Structure 1
């Protein structure tokens, strides 16, 4: 029988209890630091031990999220914390930072590590790369289709995990800098302020505007698609929700457990009813199936409301009544527009009732609505009360069969076989009864109690029985000793001693060949400006969709101009079009000197063939991550989330090449969803949008009136750029003194004159007006 794991979130002990009581196979949770849900309750060390032991008692696994990027001054602490988790028996770590991964593999080589979705693994080559490096499991990007998941899981035989329910990031995880650059709260550090949930105005230069929650996706729900997901070959079905209340965890796990068991064991489950319950627990204007069936358009987005909408309750008629579309009870929550209330009174024809059914006309109080208003039932008290019963510890019981010896003048013994092990416990002496001896039923009844243990003895077989007597307290003590002994034996078996360290390999650097300054461009006019200014190292992006975009022939025509070194900028995301990108690289090999990329699949394929510059979204913020990449590629680029002090600290002992971006419009988001096509394309699917993005220049405007340019690529992905370009030209010499020996300038939508002006700033020919630019995190840094 195929094994399919249901992986549940836990932001608290109550959520952990709820998940296990409802049948989760594994739980993922965060400690007090280094977790991508920094604002969840999370688990201190004492509760972490308690959580691990509790889960293991039930045969469930615990995965701990160390899935943030780690600063230089935190690295040793993070490794020590990993050591603590190793010793207490945590089953696996979920990691984003390759510097932390490198150190943990050196210190605890047998610790199982899963690649976080923050690592943006979305193609087979990237998955193979991390598997070869020592990752046991890949948590795939949420943007993959079932066919892409199947290829990685089945064809490449890689253990994968996918998100099946809960909140969806509109940007590729690990590729979003929007919260970081706007407000200093980094999503890569678990502190995302969720700017995607804000209202924006989208407008083209010659196009009418639209105001909506343009970047706020609906939650994912795949309860009706579980069979397709199982058939894809993925191993783990992950539920998002460490910030959600425990009742939510209980309800979602319960439904997915039943859905999986229906497929695997032919158990009955009504998916339609399950989806309705999930809608009531939490939804943002309905659900989507994310990208599993390649639905990339407006159906993905909750344009009207970014928060929980509940389910439609009814519309207020001219008499101030609502004809119910859902049952209601006192204590239920309801919402009118953006305001929420708890039902304190229900009237049917003026008569007060405790509940009302679908179809009945009612007035509900507080009467904070008027004729024509639409009401939504935001919470169901009966449902939450029912789910509350599953938030208690040891609510779920594992049945045990016990063999009893109850013989006169001999100690009572109890034998239990569990999980392939035999346990025997010895109790009090069975004495001769002075009055009434204990019968089998009384012994069985006393042994069948459970209390705060995961087990219950529900079947007793007497190997020997003679009429006699022991105190009920002695029976209770024997039962407790047996249940506690089995539990301790299980939890102790997961404890580990510190492993013998791998012999530390000599740090290697792939290349000492360097490029002092490289300029990156998209358009023909930008390219012309660079050539006219005598720039010798140029990176070209042939994948952007722009009216003046560079073409392949423009690069091939430069073959005779040997003094110009051309590098090809590869998109951060290369999914099913991987073969086409490889085909283009192969075609251009005679004309290019190398690649700029963050795509681990492209790095895996070409690291031994071509000169590679790693882009800034490799998210390198510590020296160990830098060393990891210096052994794989020629020039890694530092993260834009570093400040001056942190750069100095991490480059103290650096011996290899390292690059910094000193000018460019920071790429805040990369999305499979295109707000232009979905808003102005006239169709729900981006593939049918009639290329609206090519007919105008589009921006998003936020509530602070900041304007963010939206650009697209030839694969219909969208890119949101920062409203102010990063400009560290004045800091170039200081960066060099800190240890940076390579610099890059990145042009996106700049005109020919703007390109020339930036070059002149670098040459100190004109002054820089810093009011037009941002220094990013260079001075301030991130939390």
Structure 2
């Protein structure tokens, strides 16, 4: 089997220590800025250096996350920070912003770069695209199945990293704009407000409505699948949890370390004990394997409770007692509904006990608050947490080394060892002739086996020479410390690097064409309204929502070309997420190439294939936040479109001295989420997995309603993915002249769930300058922006 890395999270120094003490091969952590966990404790520069040195003293790698998109005015500071991380010996950077990737490739070409899961790499062609752009490792989207992981890792020979445990986003990472558009807190900037953990009502026009935490997934737990995951060829198994307590990091890392080691040695891991411990540390109504086996229906969701559920210990009987389903002990935290208490007394057979066990009938105190019929949950296990707290101690873990000793009279005491492929040797004072009783071998061994505040210990002492002689114990101790410090200094300093200042390279731009307005549509009615307007020249047809009522298909595109090829330019809008259907999408593009001028997409796998064959408009989900990111994609894309999270000032700033043409979306119901999970099929269709879809999404229109009574349309595409649209359309039509003054010449207008009349109204606003005072719109982030 291949060498596998266990990658643990650290939101604090204590978590880093806990991870190392429990066998992590590598740690990932973030600095005070530019991290997708902006609300974690994170590491300032001084603490970062200490963390890196501490990890390297154990031969543990450190990967630093700079996994947010960066505004133009942040790039300089971010690049300076990268230089600091390079100098102190950070092993790799996990990055989202392709503009920063481009700069690092030029200035620090030897710095190892990993594509963050926020870049949304979810197919083989996409992984190849970023490998060819100079990234050594791809952190794959969580939505991939075991076969897909194997294809990318083993068949394509790409170094990959996958999440095996922890919280799961219901939307593809890097594609979610829900928190951003609703509340201004951007997930792409590390400030997600977690709207997926809120209650929603899913309403159908004919099927009624259902309420619950409809977008809240259970945490992932793949500890049962470690064997098959390792065989898939992936390089790194990643635990999510930079916001979690150090004890959580300790316990989860410990269990996955034990499981991996058992698999590699053909041993057997106690899955029952392991899963119970993991559930006690944190779970949301249990765990899910979700995407690993393509089971993405209601069984992966925690509909009833979005927070830590705890472990069910029993239901209160008529007598106020509980027949225990799990062990309990004094000091445990107990929950019922949204209330709870710390267990202060246990009565068993009318006698007080300190702990009770599964099957026992007990009364738990304090009694106040819970009643008969209540279900009780153990939220914290004092015994477990006390045990895990021991793993937060500095240098608790010791690396065992073999020490060779020359204890020769009238010669210096010599001790040497090997670590990490290198030999270390130090010379001490001369061994004296014993005037009285000579030193025993045991006494010398005892002195050399001491360790203290150091990562290493000599647990095996080999004497090449041992004469009857004498030396002060203090001298032996000093020599031992000198050897330890020599190893420590070398292990830390060997990772340090000197800055390499390369020059910035001029990027090649694919084209410099202007299209003006570019319209896209999904339904026949929308296309009819567009075709009737003579000022509309560029139309993109999205034929991948044919499950929806009145939706467009391939034949509609061919027919439209036949009737309008002389006065309309036809484009094909390609899905941004393409997995198992990738080859079919390619076949569709090939079939329709004679009928189209180009494509619109943000799928980098498709971009890789067609960058030299078709005119490509890059969709806004490429998350372009700065000039360097735009120019990165402009090597392969004709018109990259900007992120919808930029405000006017930021757009203006990044357009200065830009080397490529840019597109901006000026109208559309923004796609807030795209997910493999379908709330429609799972809620109304009884869908436990994708295989059981009964097509209920085709029978009606569906709205997701939040606690503020905002209505979000839910569309399902041809591949059973759900798309949640904003409750109101973004409309920047009145800002077009200002955008033109910023040197922007391409304007996107996207229609998704609009009627014929609504499309006609928007066209009138664009071509005639009319206003619809009765319609509610938003300017999105054009004025406010995101933090």
Q: TM-score by structure 2 length?
A: 0.98
Partner Cα distance (2:182, 2:154) in 1: 41
1:266: how far off?
2.1
1:433: how far off?
4.4
1:465: how far off?
2.5
* Secondary structure of residue in 2 paired with 1:291: helix
1:637 to 626, 641, 650: 641
1:662: how far off?
0.6
Residue 626 in structure 1 maps to residue 624 in structure 2: no
Per-residue deviation, residues 109-167 of structure 1 (Å, max 9, x unmatched): 01111110001101111011111111101111100111111111111111111111110
Is the contact between residue 654 and residue 739 of structure 1 (CA under 8 Å) also seen in structure 2?
A: no
Partner Cα distance (1:419, 1:574) in 2: 43
In structure 1, the residue matched to 2:783 is 779
Residue 378 in structure 1 maps to residue 382 in structure 2: no
Per-residue deviation, residues 453-497 of structure 1 (Å, max 9, x unmatched): 111011222222233333222222111111111111111111111
Please give the residue correspondences for 1:354-433 in structure 2 after superposition, counting only pairs within 5 Å: 354-367=354-367, 368-433=369-434
In structure 1, the residue matched to 2:89 is 89
In structure 2, the residue matched to 1:497 is 498
Per-residue deviation, residues 384-430 of structure 1 (Å, max 9, x unmatched): 11111111111111111112222334332212222222211122333
Is the contact between residue 205 and residue 696 of structure 1 (CA under 8 Å) also seen in structure 2?
A: yes
Partner Cα distance (1:428, 1:360) in 2: 65
Per-residue deviation, residues 189-241 of structure 1 (Å, max 9, x unmatched): 11101000011111112221111000000000011111111121111111111
1:705: how far off?
1.0
* Secondary structure of residue in 2 paired with 1:68: coil
In structure 1, the residue matched to 2:614 is 610
1:449: how far off?
0.7
In structure 2, the residue matched to 1:676 is 680
1:738: how far off?
1.3
Partner Cα distance (1:249, 1:693) in 2: 40
Per-residue deviation, residues 521-541 of structure 1 (Å, max 9, x unmatched): 100000000111122211111
In structure 1, the residue matched to 2:555 is 553
Deviates most, 770-779 or 48-57: 770-779
Is the contact between residue 142 and residue 290 of structure 1 (CA under 8 Å) also seen in structure 2?
A: no
* Aligned residues: CA RMSD: 1.3
* Secondary structure of residue in 1 paired with 2:292: coil
In structure 1, the residue matched to 2:658 is 654
In structure 1, the residue matched to 2:312 is 312
Q: 1:486 to 1:770 in 2, by over 3 A?
A: farther
Is the contact between residue 449 and residue 459 of structure 2 (CA under 8 Å) also seen in structure 1?
A: yes
Deviates most, 402-411 or 686-695: 402-411
Per-residue deviation, residues 57-80 of structure 1 (Å, max 9, x unmatched): 212111110110011011011111
Partner Cα distance (1:177, 1:670) in 2: 10
Q: Where does the alignment leave 5 or more consecutive residues of structure 1 unmatched?
A: none
Partner Cα distance (1:101, 1:683) in 2: 41
Partner Cα distance (1:420, 1:749) in 2: 63
Is the contact between residue 137 and residue 158 of structure 2 (CA under 8 Å) also seen in structure 1?
A: yes
In structure 2, the residue matched to 1:754 is 758
Is the contact between residue 219 and residue 283 of structure 2 (CA under 8 Å) also seen in structure 1?
A: yes
Is the contact between residue 224 and residue 272 of structure 1 (CA under 8 Å) also seen in structure 2?
A: no
* Secondary structure of residue in 2 paired with 1:37: coil
Is the contact between residue 31 and residue 43 of structure 2 (CA under 8 Å) also seen in structure 1?
A: yes
Please give the residue correspondences for 1:146-545 in structure 2 after superposition, counting only pairs within 5 Å: 146-367=146-367, 368-433=369-434, 435-501=436-502, 504-534=504-534, 535-544=536-545, 545=547
Please give the residue correspondences for 1:713-724 in structure 2 after superposition, counting only pairs within 5 Å: 713-724=717-728
Partner Cα distance (1:736, 1:726) in 2: 18
Partner Cα distance (2:260, 2:773) in 1: 60
1:560: how far off?
4.1
Partner Cα distance (1:276, 1:632) in 2: 49
Q: TM-score by structure 1 length?
A: 0.98
Partner Cα distance (1:549, 1:493) in 2: 61
1:743: how far off?
0.3
In structure 2, the residue matched to 1:33 is 33
Please give the residue correspondences for 1:564-583 in structure 2 after superposition, counting only pairs within 5 Å: 564-583=568-587
Q: 1:452 to 1:689 in 2, by over 3 A?
A: same
* Secondary structure of residue in 1 paired with 2:173: coil
Q: 1:768 to 1:740 in 2, by over 3 A?
A: farther
* Secondary structure of residue in 2 paired with 1:549: coil
Is the contact between residue 630 and residue 636 of structure 1 (CA under 8 Å) also seen in structure 2?
A: yes
Partner Cα distance (2:625, 2:773) in 1: 29
* Secondary structure of residue in 1 paired with 2:724: strand
Please give the residue correspondences for 1:100-111 in structure 2 after superposition, counting only pairs within 5 Å: 100-111=100-111
Partner Cα distance (1:231, 1:460) in 2: 38
* Secondary structure of residue in 1 paired with 2:551: coil
1:770: how far off?
8.3
Is the contact between residue 666 and residue 722 of structure 1 (CA under 8 Å) also seen in structure 2?
A: yes
Please give the residue correspondences for 1:49-60 in structure 2 after superposition, counting only pairs within 5 Å: 49-60=49-60
1:267: how far off?
3.1
Is the contact between residue 165 and residue 240 of structure 2 (CA under 8 Å) also seen in structure 1?
A: yes
Is the contact between residue 129 and residue 605 of structure 2 (CA under 8 Å) also seen in structure 1?
A: yes
Partner Cα distance (2:769, 2:168) in 1: 47
Per-residue deviation, residues 87-125 of structure 1 (Å, max 9, x unmatched): 111111101110000000000001111110001101111
Partner Cα distance (2:221, 2:686) in 1: 26
* Secondary structure of residue in 1 paired with 2:346: strand
Is the contact between residue 687 and residue 716 of structure 1 (CA under 8 Å) also seen in structure 2?
A: no
Partner Cα distance (1:130, 1:422) in 2: 39
Is the contact between residue 678 and residue 721 of structure 2 (CA under 8 Å) also seen in structure 1?
A: yes
Partner Cα distance (2:168, 2:149) in 1: 17
Partner Cα distance (1:776, 1:354) in 2: 58
Partner Cα distance (2:656, 2:66) in 1: 25
Partner Cα distance (1:249, 1:625) in 2: 34
Partner Cα distance (1:419, 1:232) in 2: 28
Is the contact between residue 595 and residue 611 of structure 1 (CA under 8 Å) also seen in structure 2?
A: yes
In structure 2, the residue matched to 1:702 is 706
Partner Cα distance (1:286, 1:731) in 2: 49
Per-residue deviation, residues 703-724 of structure 1 (Å, max 9, x unmatched): 1111111111000000011111
Partner Cα distance (1:655, 1:485) in 2: 51
Partner Cα distance (1:551, 1:313) in 2: 54
